[in-house]
A and B are shown apart, each in its own frame.
Chain A
Amino acid sequence: MSQFAVDVRDLHVRFGEVEAVSGVDLRAGAGQATALLGRNGAGKSTTMRVLAGVVPPSAGQAMVLGHDVRTETLTVKRAIGYCPDVGGLIPRATPWEHLQLSARLRRMPDWETGARDLLERFELGDVAHRVTGGFSHGMGRRLSVVLAAFHRPGVLLLDEPFDGVDPIGVEATFEVIADARARGACVLVSTHLRDLAVQACETAVVLRGGARVAELVAGELSGEAGADAYRALLD
């Protein structure tokens, strides 16, 4: 078994003629938070979708907690918590129904108290029984993070969790990431917000054109010098 919680080797994902991911290598350990950075179309979200078991790899290998996402998809899905980059919510279901569905499928007997606490932490307690179709973008993002985290997964995949989220939501997301790391979970955060990525993660992987171009300590991307270094990696 791999020593890494997430172990991706030479991953390729093709959609017809388009190769969304072309040879990504990525390793992330337990208790570690890794930021996935890169321009639009760099392959961050597709890599996250592969790790979530939503998109099968066209070639290469993707292992999550020692399970192959291609052959042990259901086991991988039990192990991960996934916040997708777009939407992520069933438009006519309530947050509580989302949580109830997830808890049922994960065989969680006493889930209500934890779920309620998490909703309160993200200031969604008041709207727990409201249809999500009327939610603002930020509310939707916050709920997606709650849905990804509430079952305390071994691998937490957060795709653009800060997009359009207010400072309270950002802080709550930081707490969720810190909690996950503290209990030994592996966290992957895909984002365009470099500063927040630096604050939340200790490692950063930069993707370009569907492939990895750099892996560095997140702190190296902070401040003006970090911004210049990051820009140089994108071009």
Chain B
Amino acid sequence: MPTAHSWTDVAAARGELVRAVADTRELIRFRARTVRRRGAAGRSLAVLLALSVAVAVVPAWAPGAGGGDEAFGVLLVLPSMLAGFLVLAVVSAVASGGGRELLARDHAVAFPVSPTTDHLGALVMAPLNIAWILQAWTLLGAGAYALGPGGLPYLLPATLLWIVAATALAQVVAWTTEAVRRGPRGAWIVRGLATALLVTAVSLQLSGRLTDVFDAMPTRHLLVSSVSMLDGFTWTWPVTIVLEVLLVVASVVVGIWPAHVASKRVPRDELRIESGSHPSRPDTRADVAMLVRIDRASIWRSVPMRRGLIVLAVGPGAIALAGGLTWSQIAVLPGLVASGGALLFGVNAWCLDGRGALWRESLPVPPSAVFAARSWVLAEWLLLGAVVTVVLASLRAGTPTGAETTAISCTLVVVVAQVVAVAMGWSGRRPFSVDMRSARATPAPPLVMVGYSTRLAVSTTLTGLVFSGLALVPEWWVSLVGTVPFLAWSTYRLLRAHRRWTDAPERARAVMTVAA
């Protein structure tokens, strides 16, 4: 039996790739046409692009750029930052089950969308993620500052290509992981590997060898080749660029194979949950308690939400544990975790009911009770993620002072209230019909998610920074006083969201949209 690939196979594969590229282009056009506020979306993209250019260029002319001690310090950590970008891209792609979908699973069934198209679509969607954008901006800005205007023409293309290559490589890892996860005992294999990697990383950090590992990363060659161009032309730089281009092409092409393998296997996690049985539990004594029970079930029986919260809670906690953050620094973390948690479903909270929203709305219960139950469930979900992060981070932070304990507790309460109020407001104002069964699903379209995540990240980080500062004040009651304006503002916003939900026409619009 012949095992070698014939020219016919190669030609067919090339034809498939060409077709997939054309299909991806069509799907992007289709998605672009479905954007509701196209003017606003266009302006947002233009701002994002302008900011990216500014971030990549302006720091090169900042004071001390390309020569000072600080610039040299940045230069030294740049290879680690480049490697870190790859790690975070992998975590993001793996957690989302192979990356975001260009076309939702339910919609895609009617169209001949091949796994190759799906793979290319996931690559296109990867940058529409605030974590990815911030990481990319950090790399570009740090590179520009480290080498200054002289090194910018060499380091900028090398960094840009690395960002693309790392994203494509992450996609390969994500599809491979998804293919394994969907195989026999795959979930346990993936969990075992993830735990082993996490334990290795933490133990390397605790033993002080993590820096050595980062120093040995091949990413330093990117930097060395660009730096060497400052002393005159050397072939190492063009060779590095060519190698990066080859890495991009190879990663994109290689990713097709695991994408096909994964598509042929059933998504076990999702199917297990869809066909799962849950024995009856005793009746509750209050209406809200029953509503809360159903809402909790909707969250914890969803693959993307469960997986997302684990990554969100454990990831920053593990990084904080490895980095040995102080209590004052830990105060910034709950806000980031709460923001991420809201992006799993909270920004479109009514989507939990899916097509059952119409039936639920026909039940004899005051809308206030439904709103209270959904807000409560969202709050406890965010609080759980944030508390896990704080507990992990606290393991090396030592015994907190009274002021630090109060500051951290106040941060938890304030950021959860802040995020719940904002998310419930958005949920009522801009509901979307989404199927949250797929591990790759997001509660809102990609561009909207970028906007939501940016606003949440900025507001909660600023809040975290305020309480980070308050943790340094010796008097414990100062943090308590500090919570008052934040809680007052969040209460106002939550009441506004509540008013919108209790307005019958507004509620009908939200219900019919999510049930569509």
Contact = CB atoms under 8 A, between A and B. Distances in A.
A70 B509 CA distance: 16
Contacts of A182: none
Contacts of B504: 56, 70, 73
Interface stretch (B2-10, B23-31, B121-129, B277-285): B277-285
A55 B361 CA distance: 9
A119 to B, nearest CB: 12
Given A87-B356, A104-B283, A97 B276 contact: no
Contacts of A134: 271, 274-275
A53 interface: yes
Interface stretch (A78-86, A170-178, A224-232): A78-86
A92 interface: yes
B364 A131 contact: no
B362 interface: yes
Contact of B283 (A80, A98, A100): A100
A93 B232 CA distance: 67
Interface in B220-273: 271, 273
Contact of B294 (A77, A86, A90, A129): A90
B195 to A, nearest CB: 27
A84 B294 contact: no
Interface residues of A, number: 43
A226 to B, nearest CB: 31
A84 B512 CA distance: 11
A90 B291 contact: no
Contact of A100 (B276, B280, B437): B280
B380 interface: no
A97 to B, nearest CB: 6
Nearest to A109: B283
Given A56-B505, A87-B515, A105-B290, 11 more contacts: A49-B512, A73-B504, A74-B365, A88-B359, A93-B294, A94-B278, A103-B283, A105-B363, A105-B365, A129-B279, A131-B274
Closest 10 CB pairs of A and B: A87-B355, A90-B356, A134-B274, A84-B358, A77-B364, A92-B301, A82-B362, A56-B504, A78-B364, A52-B362
Interface of A: 15, 49, 52-56, 70, 73-74, 77-78, 80, 82-84, 86-94, 96-98, 100-106, 129-134, 144, 147
6 contacts: A54-B362, A84-B355, A86-B516, A97-B280, A131-B278, A144-B359
